[in-house]
């Protein structure tokens, strides 16, 4: 079997605390019996601490240093410091978040997947009993859109200031993300069929659905391009039902009847916003995993990071829930599992252990390492 090389980036805030549980879990999963082989190398950058020491958030050649790894496992980034120090607050985003976006871009991780399927025992924020049936996958375009950071400020700081922020959408990036969404819809339908929990969508009772999100009533150019390309690509997937939502209505429906969605595909910014909402439906940031991958090119490292941030308010107190990080690690194992059967088995074992712990303890208040002990003990 292959030895997988993983670059571990603990980052800021609660990042190192939850990452410590993830590396412990990987150690436990890599026992002789399982045959799984993963070699972790930990880097202290990018992080605020590294910046304070070196004046940069990461070494100049950090992207080269990461290039040869099979995968990147990241805790969280951003360290606003004390609220009483607004200068540090402003600095923190520029400091450690830039590498996050650069890693996504440099390694062409054009697809961000954030599954939303509450595990039994996870906190349930919606009162409706159907909330336990929520099972959707939000696929976020991760390479362009509102995140290209083109534009600028004219006459900054004056009353005449004008800021522009270009949102850029290409045929190439739109085609690959929408096509990927349809493929994932098929995969999900097959999984549901195998597990005897089929669903039906639309008047033709199709086994899966893709919903595309735009704001075409106000942002016509990219909205029309997305909608037209979506309709065209859908012809290649006649077995998958289609649906369109405007982003504001999508937010409303994520709260009023989220159980009606299957796969949702959205632009970079819309996907960012919708996945914070979806994380709450999933039981909160504490249980919501995420990945940044290139589904058509496995030659460069993907990055696995929970949806949550560095949670500076609880950092360093052994209070952060490690479940999101562990479920994110399971997504990494899934990704490895495409080539390596023992990794697929390990992903299922880890997910089962997290899920059993949630079921037993629900949202009981426990320390990070105590949760880690219980889950890793079960492995
Ligand atoms: C996320 C985060 C990042 C994003 C921030 C930290 C730049 O919110 O991963 O969702 O907007 O992509
Ligand atoms: Mn976000």
Mean pLDDT along residues 89-108: 80
List Cβ neighbours of 213 (8 Å cut-off, separation of 6 or more): 244, 245, 246, 247, 250, 264, 265, 266, 267, 270, 271, 274
Task: With respect to residue 119, please indicate whether it lies within any of the assigned structural domains.
Answer: no
User: Which pLDDT score, from 0 to 100, does residue 161 have?
Assistant: 98
**One domain, residues 3 and 139:** no
CB 73 within 8 A of CB 304: yes
Which range has the worst mean pLDDT, 79-88, 120-129, 245-254, 259-268? 79-88
3-state helix, strand, coil in the chain (%, to 5): 45, 20, 35
Mean pLDDT along residues 4-12: 97
What does the alpha-carbon distance between residue 110 and residue 112 come to, in Å, rounded to a whole number?
7
Longest dimension (CA), the chain: 68
**One domain, residues 94 and 160:** no
Structure tokens belonging to residue 356: 């059993």
**One domain, residues 144 and 263:** yes
What does the alpha-carbon distance between residue 80 and residue 367 come to, in Å, rounded to a whole number?
23
On the question of pLDDT at 96 being above 80, the answer is no
Report CA(272)–ligand 2 centroid distance (Å). 5
* Average pLDDT of the chain to the nearest whole number: 95
Separation of first and last alpha carbons in the chain: 21
282, 303, 330 - which closes a domain: 282
Question: What residue owns the CA closest to ligand 1's atom 10?
Answer: 272
Instruction: Burial-class residue 169 by CB neighbours within 10 Å (0-12, 13-18, 19+).
Output: buried
Q: Which residue has the tokens 């590498």?
A: 99
User: Which pLDDT score, from 0 to 100, does residue 92 have?
Assistant: 61
Report CA(309)–ligand 2 centroid distance (Å). 8
282, 308, 336 - which closes a domain: 282
Q: Which residue has the tokens 């534009």?
A: 151
265, 282, 299 - which closes a domain: 282
At 1, the pLDDT band (50, 70, 90 cuts) reads confident
**One domain, residues 272 and 297:** no
What does the alpha-carbon distance between residue 127 and residue 133 come to, in Å, rounded to a whole number?
13
Side-chain-facing half-sphere of 12: CA atoms under 13 Å = 27
Mean pLDDT along residues 225-240: 98
At 97, the pLDDT band (50, 70, 90 cuts) reads confident
Q: Tell me what percent of the residues of the chain surpass a pLDDT of 90.
A: 89
**One domain, residues 147 and 273:** yes
Using the atom order of ligand 1, give the atom closest to the CA of residue 112: 9
**One domain, residues 72 and 167:** no
**One domain, residues 136 and 269:** yes
Task: With respect to residue 190, please indicate whether it lies within any of the assigned structural domains.
Answer: yes
User: Which pLDDT score, from 0 to 100, does residue 232 have?
Assistant: 98
Full-model pTM: 0.95
What's the CATH number where 222 sits? 3.40.718.10
What does the alpha-carbon distance between residue 30 and residue 24 come to, in Å, rounded to a whole number?
10
At 88, the pLDDT band (50, 70, 90 cuts) reads low
Q: In this prediction, does ipTM exceed 0.95?
A: yes
User: Which pLDDT score, from 0 to 100, does residue 362 have?
Assistant: 83
pLDDT: which is higher, 51 or 235: 235
**One domain, residues 296 and 170:** no
Structure tokens belonging to residue 331: 């997504």
Report CA(272)–ligand 1 centroid distance (Å). 7
On the question of pLDDT at 215 being above 80, the answer is yes
CB 46 within 8 A of CB 57: yes
On the question of pLDDT at 98 being above 90, the answer is no
CB 240 within 8 A of CB 186: yes
Question: What residue owns the CA closest to ligand 1's atom 8?
Answer: 272
CA distances from 211 to 71, 201, 242 (A): 29, 11, 6
CB 265 within 8 A of CB 250: no
Structure tokens belonging to residue 285: 């940031």
Structure tokens belonging to residue 51: 């910046």
Question: What residue owns the CA closest to ligand 1's atom 11?
Answer: 272
At 51, the pLDDT band (50, 70, 90 cuts) reads confident
On the question of pLDDT at 343 being above 90, the answer is yes
**Sheet arrangement for strand 71-76:** 37-42, 3-11, 71-76, 303-304, 291-293, 111-116, 136-141, 263-266, 208-214, 240-246
**One domain, residues 137 and 272:** yes
At 80, the pLDDT band (50, 70, 90 cuts) reads confident
Task: Collapse the DSSP code of 133 into the 3-class scheme (helix H, G, I; strand E, B; otherwise coil) and give the result.
Answer: helix
Task: With respect to residue 247, please indicate whether it lies within any of the assigned structural domains.
Answer: yes
**One domain, residues 25 and 148:** no
Mean pLDDT along residues 180-207: 98
The CA-based angle 308-312-318, given to 5 degrees, is 85
What does the alpha-carbon distance between residue 122 and residue 327 come to, in Å, rounded to a whole number?
13
Task: With respect to residue 118, please indicate whether it lies within any of the assigned structural domains.
Answer: no
User: Which pLDDT score, from 0 to 100, does residue 86 have?
Assistant: 66
At 38, the pLDDT band (50, 70, 90 cuts) reads very high
Instruction: Burial-class residue 194 by CB neighbours within 10 Å (0-12, 13-18, 19+).
Output: exposed
Range of the domain at 146: 124-282
Task: With respect to residue 117, please indicate whether it lies within any of the assigned structural domains.
Answer: no
Closest by alpha carbon to 21, among 361, 230, 307, 328?
328
| Ligand 1 environment, Cβ below 6 A | 97, 100-101, 272
On the question of pLDDT at 195 being above 80, the answer is yes
User: Which pLDDT score, from 0 to 100, does residue 78 have?
Assistant: 87
Task: With respect to residue 324, please indicate whether it lies within any of the assigned structural domains.
Answer: yes
Instruction: Burial-class residue 192 by CB neighbours within 10 Å (0-12, 13-18, 19+).
Output: middle
Report CA(129)–ligand 1 centroid distance (Å). 31
Structure tokens belonging to residue 8: 């571990």
Could you say which ligand is closest to the alpha carbon of residue 269? Answer: 1
At 94, the pLDDT band (50, 70, 90 cuts) reads low
Question: What residue owns the CA closest to ligand 1's atom 12?
Answer: 272
Task: With respect to residue 223, please indicate whether it lies within any of the assigned structural domains.
Answer: yes
User: Which pLDDT score, from 0 to 100, does residue 73 have?
Assistant: 98
Q: Which of 95, 306, 309, 328 to mutate to test the pocket of ligand 1 (most atoms within 8 A of CB)?
A: 309
Q: Which of 97, 116, 139 to mutate to test the pocket of ligand 1 (most atoms within 8 A of CB)?
A: 97
**One domain, residues 339 and 206:** no
Could you say which ligand is closest to the alpha carbon of residue 94? Answer: 1
On the question of pLDDT at 363 being above 80, the answer is no
**One domain, residues 152 and 251:** yes
Task: With respect to residue 201, please indicate whether it lies within any of the assigned structural domains.
Answer: yes
Task: Please give the tally of structural domains in the chain.
Answer: 2
């Amino acid at each position: 079997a292959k030895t997988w090389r993983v670059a571990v980036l603990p980052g800021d805030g609660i990042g190192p605390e939850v990452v410590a549980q993830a590396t412990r879990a990987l150690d436990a999963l890599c026992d002789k019996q399982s045959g799984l082989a993963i070699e972790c190398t930990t880097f202290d950058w990018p992080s605020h601490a590294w910046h304070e020491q070196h004046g940069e958030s990461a070494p100049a050649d950090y992207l080269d240093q990461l290039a040869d790894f099979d995968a990147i496992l990241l805790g969280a980034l951003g360290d606003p410091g004390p609220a009483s120090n607004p200068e540090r607050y402003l600095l923190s985003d520029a400091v450690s978040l830039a590498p996050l976006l650069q890693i996504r871009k440099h390694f062409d991780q054009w697809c961000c997947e954030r599954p939303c399927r509450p595990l039994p025992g996870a906190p349930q924020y919606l009162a409706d009993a159907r909330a336990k049936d929520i099972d959707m996958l939000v696929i976020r375009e991760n390479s362009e859109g509102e995140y290209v950071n083109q534009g600028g400020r004219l006459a900054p700081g004056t009353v005449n200031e004008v800021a522009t922020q270009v949102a850029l959408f290409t045929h190439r990036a739109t085609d690959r993300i929408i096509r990927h969404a349809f493929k994932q819809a098929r995969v999900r339908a097959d999984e549901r069929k195998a597990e005897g929990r089929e669903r039906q969508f639309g008047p033709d009772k199709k086994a899966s659905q893709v919903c595309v999100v735009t704001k075409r009533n106000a942002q016509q150019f990219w909205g029309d391009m997305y909608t037209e390309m979506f309709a065209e690509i859908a012809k290649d997937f006649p077995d998958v039902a289609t649906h369109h939502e405007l982003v504001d209505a999508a937010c409303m429906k994520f709260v009023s009847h989220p159980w009606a969605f299957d796969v949702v595909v959205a632009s970079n910014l819309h996907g960012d916003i919708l996945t914070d909402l979806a994380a709450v439906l999933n039981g909160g940031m504490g249980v919501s995993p995420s990945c940044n991958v290139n589904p058509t090119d496995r030659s460069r490292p993907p990055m696995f990071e929970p949806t949550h941030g560095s949670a500076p308010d609880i950092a360093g107190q052994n209070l952060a829930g490690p479940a999101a990080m562990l479920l994110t690690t399971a997504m990494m194992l899934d990704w490895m599992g495409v080539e390596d059967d023992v990794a697929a088995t390990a992903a299922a074992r880890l997910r089962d252990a997290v899920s059993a712990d949630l079921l037993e303890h629900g949202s009981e208040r426990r320390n990070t390492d105590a949760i880690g002990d219980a889950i890793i003990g079960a492995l």
